[in-house]
Amino acid sequence: MLDEQRASTEPSEDASTVQADGRLTYTLTEAASRLGISRALAYEAAQRGELPVCRIGRRVLVPRVALLRLLGQDGPPGSQSA
pLDDT band at 12 (very low <50, low <70, confident <90, very high): very low
Asked if 51 contacts 27 with a C-beta cutoff of 8 angstroms, the reply is: no
Cβ within 8 Å of residue 61, ≥6 positions away: 25, 26, 27, 28, 53, 54, 55
State if pTM tops 0.75: no
- Residue 59 maps to a domain: yes
- Residue 79 maps to a domain: no
- Residue 45 maps to a domain: yes
> 48 lies in which domain range?
12-70
pLDDT at 18 over 90: no
**Per-residue pLDDT averaged across 75-82, rounded?**
53
pLDDT of residue 30: 94
Split into its structural domains, the chain has a count of 1
- Residue 2 maps to a domain: no
- Residue 23 maps to a domain: yes
Backbone angles phi and psi of 12, in degrees to 5:
-95, 165
CATH of residue 55: 1.10.10
Helix (H, G, I), strand (E, B) or coil at 52: coil
Neighbours of 35 (CB within 10 A): 20
